[in-house]
């Protein structure tokens, strides 16, 4: 019997499948590629992996537009490849989570095709969000049913040939399901069972706060505020209560983490009540600037509101954190130093941590991708005004001195920078002073302390723009200021994210100290 359920303090590694490792040679990462790199992940010292969508998809949004929820896109392999991946991961002691995309399907999904062919008022249309136009001020054509805008820019409605409109909170190729329809609910329970029966340990739930929209679809302002008719409607929690019952039926512990964007930790906490999801991402940590005050506020608010917290600094939707922290700094290396320090602080906090592929190599955002290679729909929909998310999705450099740096036998679907030779996993594995070696040491140290630290933490008084906190015998210190700070009394420095002489903590550095 495990002391606490595995997800409680798990370190989970996000694999953006298209960009991780390509075994087939078509320039796109795939499941056999992931499988070939499992030993690397076991050696890194993570507990679980989360795979982004690999289902059949026209790839209008990198696979978050799913045409068939029970299969593998040939681009990524086959169901047999998936089964082999689960078996190998488990043999190495790694848990495996898959991404479920319940807010919307692809417009190529058979249900949506049928909906377009069916008349208004039909059951086929009712599985999605079709509406008649709002009466227009003079003309007869009508306009969008309400003022909602797509997260990717532009209206959230697209008109069909017969004059009705359908809702898509994201791209037009991602029509929203109607979660008030019982068949949609049954279908997703069945999809969960399909993957649970294949042995997955859990799910990451895409847009978990968006499934139910307020009755009547009233006009609104953008934002995740409590009064939004789009996000976090009370009825969404019934869905997760039902899903939790399904997860709990299965042997072992199967967990779910919600992608929940909210503007309050109290709202976030509703998703992780004992009979709902196990976890939700804590994006407030990722959104905090490089500042001890900002970090402390997020930590306090999170631990007050959420019983089983998570921490995350990067994912496939945001600018890589060394680049975020480096902005505004005169020293180009400062961003990476701060990124490593924030990582070490996050590993010291109670709860579980999510890493994003490539952060262990110290990759930064690739900002100069040529426009013609960009694939994020945000780039095209904003007519190039917004660069979008491709800069954090550039394929991983594994080995060698030139692109594609061992990503696969072919090229890579996004061009890799010419100066990544020093950042390959192969090169860094051989260098004890590399970011990869630091990540390995940090994860090994966390493991060595597992089960010996309390689930709570306490603040110590800290000078300047620094934070000191304790968890039992561990003291974590992080210096966000510009001057060195004196370390609190301790017996030993177990690990630090940069040079630390045992007396002072330099700027942009974190360390773990032990007291007996």
Q: What is the set of active-site residues? A: 206, 249
Residue (64 or 413) nearer to ligand NOJ, CB: 64
User: What is the CA 314 to chain-centroid distance, rounded?
Assistant: 7
Kindly write out the interface string for residues 252-291 of this chain, putting x where it contacts ligand NOJ by CB under 6 A and - elsewhere. -------x--------------------------------
Q: How far apart are CA 497 and CA 337, in angstroms?
A: 7
Q: Are 183 and 127 in contact (CB under 8 A)?
A: yes
Task: Please tell me the count of residues contacting ligand NOJ according to CB under 6 A.
Answer: 9
Q: How far apart are CA 478 and CA 465, in angstroms?
A: 9
Q: CB of 102: closest distance to ligand NOJ in angstroms?
A: 10
- The candidate with the shortest Cα–Cα distance to 282, out of 214, 349, 183, 359, is 349
Q: Are 27 and 408 in contact (CB under 8 A)?
A: yes
Residue (30 or 173) nearer to ligand NOJ, CB: 173
User: What is the CA 133 to chain-centroid distance, rounded?
Assistant: 35
**Which 205-224 residues touch ligand NOJ, going by CB under 6 A?**
206-207
Exposure of 437 in the CB half-sphere (CA atoms within 13 A) = 10
Q: How many CB atoms lie within 10 A of CB 109?
A: 24
Q: How far apart are CA 73 and CA 515, in angstroms?
A: 52
Residue (115 or 207) nearer to ligand NOJ, CB: 207
The DSSP secondary-structure symbol of 422 reads: G
State yes or no: residue 478 binds ligand NOJ (CB under 6 A).
no
Q: CB of 206: closest distance to ligand NOJ in angstroms?
A: 5
Strands (E), 17-160: 48-51, 95-100, 130-131, 157-159
Q: Which helix (H) or strand (E) holds 356?
A: strand 352-356
Q: CB of 405: closest distance to ligand NOJ in angstroms?
A: 24
Q: CB of 504: closest distance to ligand NOJ in angstroms?
A: 40
Any residues with CB less than 8 A from the CB of 189 and at least 6 apart, and which? 242, 243, 246
Q: CB of 286: closest distance to ligand NOJ in angstroms?
A: 13
- The candidate with the shortest Cα–Cα distance to 385, out of 51, 152, 65, 62, is 152
Q: Are 171 and 377 in contact (CB under 8 A)?
A: yes
Residue (313 or 476) nearer to ligand NOJ, CB: 313
The residue of the chain with the least Cβ separation from ligand NOJ equals: 64
Q: Are 63 and 111 in contact (CB under 8 A)?
A: no
Residue (105 or 424) nearer to ligand NOJ, CB: 105
Q: In Å, how far are 26, 65, 77, 202 from 56, measured between CA atoms?
A: 16, 9, 10, 20
* Cα distance between the two ends of the chain: 29
Kindly write out the interface string for residues 307-346 of this chain, putting x where it contacts ligand NOJ by CB under 6 A and - elsewhere. ---------xx-----------------------------
Kindly write out the interface string for residues 154-183 of this chain, putting x where it contacts ligand NOJ by CB under 6 A and - elsewhere. ----------------x-------------
Q: Which two tokens stand for residue 31?
A: 């499941």
Q: CB of 293: closest distance to ligand NOJ in angstroms?
A: 29
Q: CB of 397: closest distance to ligand NOJ in angstroms?
A: 22
Q: CB of 428: closest distance to ligand NOJ in angstroms?
A: 27
User: What is the CA 94 to chain-centroid distance, rounded?
Assistant: 18
The DSSP secondary-structure symbol of 207 reads: T
**Which 54-73 residues touch ligand NOJ, going by CB under 6 A?**
61, 64
**Which 84-103 residues touch ligand NOJ, going by CB under 6 A?**
101
Kindly write out the interface string for residues 13-32 of this chain, putting x where it contacts ligand NOJ by CB under 6 A and - elsewhere. --------------------
391 Ramachandran zone, left/alpha/beta (phi>0; psi -120 to 50)? alpha
For the purposes of burial, counting CB atoms within 10 Å of the CB of 371, is it exposed (0-12), middle (13-18) or buried (19 or more)? Answer: exposed
- The candidate with the shortest Cα–Cα distance to 339, out of 309, 361, 317, is 361
Q: How far apart are CA 107 and CA 167, in angstroms?
A: 11
Q: How far apart are CA 178 and CA 183, in angstroms?
A: 10
Q: CB of 236: closest distance to ligand NOJ in angstroms?
A: 15
Q: CB of 207: closest distance to ligand NOJ in angstroms?
A: 5
**Which 344-403 residues touch ligand NOJ, going by CB under 6 A?**
none
**Binding stretches for ligand NOJ (CB under 6 A):** 61, 64, 101, 170, 206-207, 259, 316-317
């Amino acid at each position: 019997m495990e002391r606490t359920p595995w997800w409680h303090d798990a370190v989970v590694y996000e694999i953006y499948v298209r960009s991780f490792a390509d075994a087939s040679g078509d320039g796109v990462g795939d499941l056999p590629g992931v499988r070939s790199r499992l030993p690397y992940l076991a050696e890194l010292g993570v507990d679980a992996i989360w795979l982004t969508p690999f289902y059949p998809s026209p790839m209008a949004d990198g696979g978050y537009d799913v045409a068939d929820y029970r299969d593998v896109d040939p681009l990524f392999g086959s169901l047999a490849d998936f089964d082999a991946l689960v078996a190998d991961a488990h043999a190495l002691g790694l848990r495996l989570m898959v991404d479920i995309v319940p807010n919307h399907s692809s417009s190529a999904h058979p249900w949506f095709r049928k909906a377009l062919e069916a008349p208004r008022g039909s059951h086929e249309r009712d599985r999605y969000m079709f509406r008649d136009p709002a009466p227009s001020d003079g003309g007869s054509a009508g306009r969008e049913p309400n003022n909602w805008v797509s997260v990717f820019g532009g209206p959230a409605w697209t008109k069909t040939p017969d004059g009705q409109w359908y809702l898509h909170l994201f791209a037009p190729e991602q029509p929203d399901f109607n979660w008030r329809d019982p068949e949609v609910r049954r279908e997703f329970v069945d999809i969960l069972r399909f993957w649970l029966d294949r042995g997955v340990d859990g799910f990451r739930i895409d847009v978990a706060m968006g499934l139910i929209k307020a009755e009547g679809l009233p006009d609104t302002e953008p934002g995740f505020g409590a009064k939004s008719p789009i996000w976090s409607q009370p009825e969404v929690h019934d869905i997760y209560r039902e899903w939790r019952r399904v997860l709990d039926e299965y042997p072992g512990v199967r967990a779910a983490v919600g992608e929940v964007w909210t503007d309050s930790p109290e709202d976030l906490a509703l998703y992780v009540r004992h009979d709902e999801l196990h976890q939700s991402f804590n994006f407030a940590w990722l959104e905090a600037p490089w500042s001890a005050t900002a970090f402390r506020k997020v930590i306090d608010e999170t631990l007050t509101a959420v019983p089983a917290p998570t921490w995350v600094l990067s994912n496939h939707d945001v600018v890589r954190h060394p680049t975020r922290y480096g902005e505004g700094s005169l020293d180009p290396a400062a961003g990476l130093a701060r990124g490593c320090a924030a990582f070490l602080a996050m590993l010291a906090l109670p709860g579980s941590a999510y890493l994003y592929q490539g952060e262990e190599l110290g990759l930064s955002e690739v900002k100069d991708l040529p426009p013609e290679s960009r694939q994020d729909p945000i780039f095209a929909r904003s007519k190039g005004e917004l660069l979008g998310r491709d800069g954090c999705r550039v394929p991983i450099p594994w080995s060698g001195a030139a692109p594609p740096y061992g990503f696969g036998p072919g090229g890579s679907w996004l061009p890799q920078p010419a100066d990544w030779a020093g950042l390959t996993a192969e090169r860094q594995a051989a260098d004890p002073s590399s970011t990869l070696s630091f990540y390995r040491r940090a994860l090994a140290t966390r493991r060595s302390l597992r089960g010996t630290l309390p689930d709570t933490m306490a603040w110590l008084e800290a000078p300047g723009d620094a934070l000191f906190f304790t968890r039992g015998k561990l003291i974590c210190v992080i210096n966000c200021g510009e001057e060195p700070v004196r370390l609190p009394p301790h017996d030993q420095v177990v690990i630090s994210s940069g040079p630390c002489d045992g007396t002072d903590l330099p700027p942009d550095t974190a360390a773990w100290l032990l007291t007996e």
